[in-house]
């Protein structure tokens, strides 16, 4: 792979992570307020959850405002990562275009469209920034010329070239995922769960996050529910292992299990990292298997979560199958602890070897 391709790849990865990082608080706010509103609603056939309390309806409006903002924010900050401030305006504006029906066929491209438009906006704005202009024009380039030209260029590309194929792909994806049942749902859950645990908050984990957020933007909450089960399992499984398999862990690891339990309950996968650093060969397969099992079961049981956070702390925001959300998380935790019990050697063996070093080869 050439150096230029590596640079582009690094730029895009950084841009995507930046966009998701800035979008996450928006989604959290939207999800929390919407969950609080719907929790008081009544299930009505054909209408879903109907909220009648005026105050709680207002909370629902706040939540919907958050969800409406998340796609433009994603696009805007992807462009910002690539071009700085001049990328914000075209990124926000074209991101909004992706979030609403547009064109003769009223196509709405959502999350995928916003990602592409953020990238295009960033690169067009970056190219315009490098243009040599007169000192007089230079003063208004970042606040007038670049935003207008970049917004117009990217919008035209989107409306006349990209909107139809992206829209068709999104419709196909939504239809396919909405109809997942049985083995197909299980497979999605297993993949999402394994990705959540694989690098414990790294790029693969964030890719799974982006996938579930994309589906949430389209009103599909099942994969997010499965993923939020999975992110809690690695630290919880390790904490349980330090408690029930005490001979497998040193005293310092057993003490660390308490903090891992707390981090698991609030959905912070990174709580598993200190254990993985010290014993990757046994920890990594154990947490991947446990998270895959928990997430797969979550998909089978129809778990849905309204907020982009995991652990038991978000149980009030689990709008479908909250009982199974907790049970599947427990099962994945037990599976992880069981794998660790099988894979890890008894720590006393290594301690005895350290206490009894091999005889010296030097003559006495």
What does the alpha-carbon distance between residue 297 and residue 318 come to, in Å, rounded to a whole number? 15
For 140, counting Cβ atoms within 10 Å of its Cβ (0-12 exposed, 13-18 middle, 19+ buried), the class is exposed
Give residue-wise pLDDT tens across range 305-342.
888 778 888 888 788 899 999 999 999 999 999 999 99
Q: What is the reported pTM?
A: 0.64
pLDDT for 348 = 65
Tally helices (H) and strands (E) across the chain.
15, 2
Helix (H, G, I), strand (E, B) or coil at 230: helix
pLDDT for 168 = 78
pLDDT for 340 = 95
Contact (CB, 8 A) for 336 and 287: yes
Residue 109 tokens, joined: 């491209």
Say if residue 270's pLDDT is above 50.
Answer: yes
Say if residue 253's pLDDT is above 90.
Answer: no
Helix (H, G, I), strand (E, B) or coil at 44: strand
Residue 172 tokens, joined: 């196909």
Least confidently predicted of 214-223, 248-257, 295-304: 214-223
DSSP secondary structure, 281-338, as one string: HHHHHHHHHHHHHHHHHHHHTT-B-SSS--SGGGGGG--B-HHHHHHHHHHHHHHHHH
Contact (CB, 8 A) for 333 and 290: yes
């Amino acid at each position: 792979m050439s150096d230029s391709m590596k640079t582009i790849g690094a730029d895009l990865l950084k841009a995507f992570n930046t966009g998701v990082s800035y979008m996450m608080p928006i989604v959290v706010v939207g999800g929390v307020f919407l969950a609080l509103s719907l929790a008081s609603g009544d299930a009505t056939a054909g209408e879903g959850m109907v909220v009648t309390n005026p105050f709680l309806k207002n909370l629902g409006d706040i939540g919907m405002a958050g969800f409406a903002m998340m796609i433009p924010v994603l696009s805007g900050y992807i462009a910002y990562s690539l071009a700085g401030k001049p990328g914000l305006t075209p990124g926000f504006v074209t991101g909004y275009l992706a979030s609403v029906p547009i064109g003769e066929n009223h196509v709405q491209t959502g999350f995928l469209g916003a990602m592409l438009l953020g990238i295009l906006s960033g690169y067009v704005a970056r190219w315009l920034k490098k243009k040599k202009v007169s000192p007089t024009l230079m003063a208004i380039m970042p606040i007038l010329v670049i935003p207008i030209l970049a917004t117009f260029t990217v919008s035209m590309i989107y409306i006349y070239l990209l909107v139809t194929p992206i829209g068709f792909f999104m419709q196909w994806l939504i239809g396919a995922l909405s109809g997942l049942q049985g083995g197909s749902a299980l497979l999605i859950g297993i993949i999402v769960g394994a990705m959540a645990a694989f690098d414990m908050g790294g790029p693969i984990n964030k890719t799974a996050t982006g996938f579930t957020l994309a589906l949430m933007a389209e009103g599909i909450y099942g994969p997010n529910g499965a993923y939020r089960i999975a992110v809690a399992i690695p630290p919880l499984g390790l904490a349980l292992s330090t408690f029930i398999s005490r001979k497998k862990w040193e005293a310092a690891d057993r003490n660390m299990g308490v903090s891992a339990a707390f981090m698991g309950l609030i959905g912070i996968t990174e709580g598993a990292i200190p254990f993985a650093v010290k014993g990757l060969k046994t920890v990594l397969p154990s947490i991947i298997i446990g998270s895959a099992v928990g997430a797969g079961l979550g998909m089978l049981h129809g778990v849905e979560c309204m907020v982009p956070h995991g652990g038991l702390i978000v149980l009030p925001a689990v709008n479908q199958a909250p009982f199974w959300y907790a049970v599947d998380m427990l099962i994945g935790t037990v599976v992880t602890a069981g794998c660790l019990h099988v894979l890890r050697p008894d720590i006393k063996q290594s301690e005895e070897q350290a206490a009894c070093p091999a005889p010296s080869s030097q003559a006495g």
